[in-house]
């Protein structure tokens, strides 16, 4: 069990695009294990590799709470997104800020699992939102970029913090 430091807003690495994983290696497996440990330790429901300083297309999610429904997705790609939900979001890389973001409420995402086998995940509501939020991180996008205008106080605070 090992946790890694979580990068926070203002860190330039969070704004970079992550590279695809070409094959499973002990190093990537260790990264995934550490990402789960780091996420659970921080009481988060999702984490993307760039948040721990690694520019690889790897995300972990557990919207069921601690170790109830762990999902690891490598090289995730959106196959379908539809509908809309506007809900409050937060991020382990943006402490003390939350705000409303519009996301699709139904998505189908393809990628690879921890064993590098192809998987397809169909998700609604909270899981759909978590998938979109974490996938954004792989392209250097933070939820505060997508925050809707009526949450302006939070947006201004985010701007002050260097967005």
Q: Calculate ∠ Cα 99-137-22, nearest 5°.
A: 160
Select 28 or 45, whichever has its Cβ closest to Ni ion.
45
Strands (E), the chain: 46-48, 58-61, 71-82, 85-89, 99-103, 106-112, 118-124
Residue nearest to Ni ion (CB): 91
Instruction: Report, in Å, the least distance between residue 64 CB and Ni ion.
Output: 18
Question: Total number of residues binding Ni ion (CB under 5 A)?
Answer: 1
Which one is catalytic: 134, 149, 150, 157? 134
Q: Nearest approach, Cβ of 137 to Ni ion (angstroms)?
A: 6
Residues 86 and 72: their CA atoms lie apart, in Å, by: 25
**Catalytic residue check, 134:** yes
Of 24 and 141, the one with the shorter C-beta distance to Ni ion is 141
Binding positions for Ni ion, 71-110, rule CB under 5 A: 91
Map the footprint of Ni ion across residues 31-60, applying CB under 5 A.
Answer: none
Closest approach, Cβ 47 to Ni ion, in A, equals 7
Q: Which is nearer to Ni ion, 74 or 92 (CB)?
A: 92
Residue 15 or 116 with smaller CB distance to Ni ion: 15
Tokens 């505060």 locate to: 144
Of the candidates 124, 132, 83, 121, which has an alpha carbon nearest to the alpha carbon of residue 104?
Answer: 83
State in angstroms the smallest separation of the CB of 117 from Ni ion. Answer: 26
Residues 6+ apart with CB under 8 A from 149: 155
The residues, any chain, with a CB within 8 Å of residue 60's CB and separated by 6 or more, are 32, 35, 36, 39, 46, 47, 70, 71, 72, 73, 134
Task: Give me the residues that bind Ni ion (CB under 5 A), please.
Answer: 91
Supply the residues annotated as catalytic. Answer: 134
């Amino acid at each position: 069990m090992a946790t890694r430091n979580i990068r926070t807003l203002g860190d330039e690495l969070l704004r970079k695009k992550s590279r695809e994983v070409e094959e499973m290696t002990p190093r990537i497996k260790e990264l995934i294990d550490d990402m789960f440990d780091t996420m659970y330790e921080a009481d988060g429901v999702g984490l993307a590799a760039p948040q721990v300083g690694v520019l690889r297309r790897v995300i972990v999610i557990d919207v069921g709470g601690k170790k109830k429904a762990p999902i690891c997705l490598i090289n995730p790609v959106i196959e379908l997104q539809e509908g809309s939900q506007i809900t409050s979001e937060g991020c382990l890389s943006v402490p003390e800020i939350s705000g409303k973001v519009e996301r699709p409420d139904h998505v189908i995402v393809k990628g690879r699992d921890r064993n590098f086998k192809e998987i397809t995940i169909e998700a609604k509501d909270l899981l759909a939102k978590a998938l979109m939020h974490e996938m954004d991180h792989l392209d250097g996008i933070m939820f505060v970029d997508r925050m809707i205008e009526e949450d302006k106080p939070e947006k201004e605070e985010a701007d002050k913090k260097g967005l």
